[in-house]
């Protein structure tokens, strides 16, 4: 392996985040960054700990996780159903793809007022909004991945006389999975964004409610805690999909001949 | 698929594996890929089809593989045809042994099917590479996996669609030897599509020349003949066939 292709050690990814944290701490300690703009790392940590101790933090986290979890599950379900129909059948493509493309073109946050009128201000508008946001990228990548299944291999499944079940297991799923996972990563990123928007607009519980509430009382530290929580959750789900991606593409690793 | 009576006077009691009567295949209105082809292939017979690009040889093979539904005429193909394509067409996300055993239903279960696949891989010289991914193999090794996958199904008709054309010259020589050896062991009828005249003379016993969808030449060779590349009879045949191809 030459120096150019040698990959940096895994811990190298942590260098920059810690450097930023160190700069932040120095800027706060030296007084260059006033606490009325942004609290020091210690202030944020204390605010976080206070929220955890009072039980508010995990209550809110659970509420937010439930919203996003339901929305993701519903969105993935819809995307798999529509993506499979459109990707596998020409009639499905002709009949269902145009409305899906229209849905893609509608700015998601623009439908918030409509959803409030339709579904009120309870949990359902938030979950449905997240589901829609999740559905679109996954639908697009899944239907494209299914359309792109190599015809050569489809012919092989015919000459080997594979059963329908074997065809799904040995060709369709593994061929479409890498492409679909790219869409899933995007979908999950969208899920958190939509959650933040829907919780900021109207909510009486959840991480977004904590942020809004803190804003009203000018508790900058708590606002930052809420934002960091969103960030960590986003990084965590992205990490999960990346693990899944590596597993789905394990046959493409290592030296090629 | 329809049943046709044998037209081979030599062996009327054994029906041919492949039987075509007035088979025509059109693409669109003005392309005739197969034009009224009538042909029998007997059990265990090794046949080569040579012809220029676009002459219809691959169309014929695809029809016999059951991959073409636009055929007009009577066509009966093997009950268990197996295909080795020009490129190996392995499933990259399945290991070598999984590729070979794919879709294989053994009465004694999955383990037994797996064991047969391992044994077949050893026969094509790939013992120990069972758990490799296809991309970790060389082109010649991948084509051998493809051959193992085809032969494991104990085909009565082995269809080879220019399987050696992507191999380098040395690998091709050993692949020819391997196909000859495996054919002698399992004795399927074999149809080799190629544009290499010498290859057809080395590993088959009957050469068809196809041009514009018509079989213009059908020649049986002595199975006991010499297969040295410089054998005078082989050289004479090669010259004659090349002449038919207009080279």
- Whether the CB of B153 is below 8 Å from some CB of chain A: the reply is yes
Position A98 in a domain: yes
Q: Please give the pLDDT value at position B230.
A: 85
Secondary structure of residue B137 in the 3-state scheme: coil
Pairwise CB contact (< 8 Å): B85 & A170: no
Partners of B153 on chain A (C-beta within 8 Å) are 160
What is the number of structural domains in chain A?
1
Q: Please give the pLDDT value at position B6.
A: 44
Residues 6+ apart with CB under 8 A from B186: B151, B154
Position A25 in a domain: no
Q: Please give the pLDDT value at position B187.
A: 94
Position A255 in a domain: no
Position A192 in a domain: yes
Please give the average per-residue pLDDT across A27-45, as a whole number: 90
Position A129 in a domain: yes
A146 lies in which domain range? 42-250
Partners of A149 on chain B (C-beta within 8 Å) are none
According to the 3-state scheme, what is the secondary structure of A79-108? HHHHHHHHHHCHHHHHHHHHHHHHHHHCCH
Low-confidence residues of chain B: pLDDT under 70: 1-12
Position A80 in a domain: yes
Tokens of B50: 């040579």
Pairwise CB contact (< 8 Å): A254 & B93: no
Q: Please give the pLDDT value at position B197.
A: 92
- Whether the CB of B92 is below 8 Å from some CB of chain A: the reply is yes
| Check: complex ipTM more than 0.95 | no
Partners of B149 on chain A (C-beta within 8 Å) are 160
CA distance B100 to chain A (A): 10
Pairwise CB contact (< 8 Å): A159 & B83: yes
Span B20-63, pLDDT tens digits: 999 999 998 888 999 999 999 999 999 999 998 888 899 999 99
| CATH of residue A63 | 1.10.3720.10
Span A97-124, pLDDT tens digits: 999 999 889 888 888 888 888 988 888 8
> Which of B158, B213, B148 is CA-nearest to residue B46?
B158
Interface test with B, best of A150, A155, A156 (most B CBs within 10 A): A156
Position A107 in a domain: yes
Separation of alpha carbons A156 and B91, rounded Å: 9
Position A56 in a domain: yes
Q: What is the pTM of this model?
A: 0.83
**Residue tagged 């010498």 (tokens):** B198
Span B125-152, pLDDT tens digits: 999 999 999 999 999 999 999 999 999 9
CA B72 vs. chain centroid, Å, equals 22
Separation of alpha carbons B205 and A113, rounded Å: 78
Separation of alpha carbons B66 and B64, rounded Å: 5
- Whether the CB of A163 is below 8 Å from some CB of chain B: the reply is yes
């Amino acid at each position: 392996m030459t120096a150019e292709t040698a990959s940096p050690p895994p811990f190298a990814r942590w260098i920059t985040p810690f450097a930023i944290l160190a700069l932040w701490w120095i800027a706060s300690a030296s007084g260059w960054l006033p606490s009325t703009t942004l609290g020091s790392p210690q202030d944020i940590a204390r605010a976080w700990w206070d929220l955890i101790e009072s039980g508010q933090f995990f209550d809110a986290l659970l509420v937010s996780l439930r919203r996003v979890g339901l929305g993701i599950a519903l969105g993935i379900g819809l995307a798999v159903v529509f993506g499979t129909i459109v990707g596998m059948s020409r009639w499905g493509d002709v009949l269902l793809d145009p409305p899906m493309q229209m849905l893609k073109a509608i700015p998601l946050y623009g439908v918030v007022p409509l959803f409030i009128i339709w579904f009120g201000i309870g949990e359902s508008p938030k979950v449905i909004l997240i589901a829609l946001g999740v559905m679109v990228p996954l639908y697009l990548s899944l239907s494209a991945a299914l359309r792109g299944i190599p015809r050569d291999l489809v012919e092989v499944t015919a000459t080997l006389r594979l059963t329908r079940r074997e065809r799904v297991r040995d060709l369709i799923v593994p061929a479409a999975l890498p492409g679909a996972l790219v869409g899933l990563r995007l979908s999950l990123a969208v899920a958190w964004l939509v959650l933040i928007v829907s919780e900021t607009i109207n909510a009486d519980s959840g991480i977004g409610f904590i942020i809004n509430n803190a804003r009203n009382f000018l508790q900058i530290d708590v606002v930052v805690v809420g934002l960091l929580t969103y960030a960590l959750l986003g990084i965590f789900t992205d990490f999960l999909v990346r693990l899944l991606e590596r597993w789905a593409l394990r046959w493409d690793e290592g030296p090629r001949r | 698929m329809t049943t046709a009576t044998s037209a081979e006077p030599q062996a009327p009691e054994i029906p041919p594996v492949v039987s075509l009567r007035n088979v025509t295949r059109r693409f669109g209105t003005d392309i005739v890929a197969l034009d009224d082809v009538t042909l029998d292939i007997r059990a265990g017979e090794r046949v080569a089809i040579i012809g220029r690009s676009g002459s219809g040889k691959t169309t014929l093979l695809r029809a016999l593989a059951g991959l073409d539904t636009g055929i007009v005429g009577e066509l009966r193909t093997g009950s268990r045809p197996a295909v080795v394509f020009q490129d190996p067409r392995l499933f990259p996300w399945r290991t070598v042994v999984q590729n070979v055993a794919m879709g294989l239903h053994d009465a004694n279960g999955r383990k037994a099917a797996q064991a047969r696949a391992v044994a077949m891989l050893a026969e094509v010289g790939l013992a120990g590479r069972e758990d490799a991914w296809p991309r970790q193999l060389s082109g010649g090794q991948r084509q051998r996996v493809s051959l193992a996958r085809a032969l494991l199904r104990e085909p009565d008709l082995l269809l080879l669609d220019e399987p050696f054309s992507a191999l380098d010259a040395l690998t091709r020589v050993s692949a020819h030897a391997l196909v000859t050896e495996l054919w002698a062991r399992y004795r399927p009828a074999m149809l080799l599509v190629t544009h290499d005249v010498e290859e057809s003379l080395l590993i088959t016993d009957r050469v068809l020349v196809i041009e514009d969808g018509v079989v213009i030449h059908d020649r049986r060779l002595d199975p006991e003949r010499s297969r040295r590349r410089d054998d005078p009879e082989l050289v004479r045949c090669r010259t004659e066939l090349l002449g038919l191809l207009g080279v």
